[in-house]
Each structure stands twice: as C-alpha cells, then as structure tokens.
Amino acid sequence: MMEKEWEKLRFEMVERQLKRRGISDEHILDTFLKVPRHLFVEKEFLAEAYYDYPLGIGYGQTISQPYMVALMTQELHLDKENCVLEIGTGSGYQTAILADLVASVYTIERILPLLNKAKDRLTKLGYNNIYYACKDGNDGWDEDIQFDAILIAAATNSIPKQLFQQLKIGGKMILPLGSNLFQRLTLIEKKEKRYEIKPLCGCRFVPLISRGFTNEE
C-alpha cells in the first residue's frame, strides 16, 4: 500500500473513531495523524491496522484499539515538559504517541522480545526521548525519578503501591482497574495526603501481576 493510502486510513481513523467519540485535544489528534500505526502491528493484521479494535502482537499481548490509546492519553492532560512512565510497552504504539507529546518517556515491558521489537521500531522512526527497561512493571523505574504521569496498559485489581510512590504530587495515573475479565478505566490524581479517583469507562486489558492497594486502605 502506498503512503498516501496509509495517510487516508489515519485520517479516517481520527475523524470516525476519535473525534466522534470526544477526543478533542488538537495535539493528540495531530499525533495520531502522524504516527504510522501500521508499522506497529504484525504482518497478518496489516489490513486491520486502523480498525477500531485491539490486535494480537504475540505472547498473549495486544495493541490497544486507537480510541482507547487516545482516551488514556487525553485524560492525562500532558504537556511538552512532562516526564511520563509507561507500564507495558507492548508494540510501542502508545509509547510513540506519548513520546511525540512530552519531553521524555520511560517505558517498561516484562517480555524481552516485545521490548526489543518495540525499541527497534521506535529507533528507526527517530525517537530519541524514550528510555527502556525489561522488568516487572510493579517495581517502577530503578532510578529516583518522580513522574508527572503514569500510564499502565495492563489490568490490575488495585493501585500499584510502588508506582504510586513514583508519581509527583499533582500527577495523574491512568489504568484499568478490575478483574481479568472486566475492568474500568480509571484516572487517579495524587494529592498531598490523599488521592482522587475518577472512573471513566469499561475496558478490557491483559493482566498486570499486581502487588498494590485498594482505595479502602
């Protein structure tokens, strides 16, 4: 397929899947027009790269539907100066969207072949503000960094403690909270001595091995 045809599919994705469902941040919409999603899917799903559903990327993992990627990104209210932690690199598509919007992205993936493939894609596309680690996402980043936002692209039934500790006061975390079968996409804002929770919508993600705490603790 010619590049102009891919551009047309990205335009249709933005118009039909994102704008019509409330994604209004112009920076995010421009980024979705720019990032070549078809380069982040497996060859057998190439014709479905811009469809409105998740696709398998191997190892029991998926690339999320475009709308879910856009919604999670928009709810974080990011700016160019932000430092963001992503848990679950997966294909690297969400990583690319974030890296186009903020100063730096720290991304963790526990499956090394997925991380290596994502890193190769992102490097070839020219991203130089992304830092990679292969480890348990519950542990967060090894260095003493406080993040403006944390995006968790895997389901957990509780808020991961160590990740929450790495979030700045006033920072936001977005994640799917719930069981392996059904979760609710949830936005958490960290306050000085508490946190606020905003449920957004139902969703379904692959599971994160959780070692967290619930809102009642």
Find out whether 94 and 153 touch, Cβ atoms under 8 Å: yes
Q: Is residue 158 flagged as an active site residue?
A: no
State whether residue 147 is helix, strand or coil: strand
Identify the CA nearest to 47 among candidates 103, 88, 5.
5
Measured distance between the N- and C-terminal CA atoms of the chain, rounded to whole angstroms = 53
Task: Give the pairing type, strands 61-63 and 167-178.
Answer: unpaired
Taking residue 86's Cβ as centre, other Cβ atoms within 10 Å add up to: 26
Task: Classify burial at 155, counting beta carbons within 10 Å of its beta carbon; exposed 0-12, middle 13-18, buried 19 or more.
Answer: buried
Which residue of the set 64, 91, 104, 210 is catalytic?
64
* Residues identified as active-site: 64
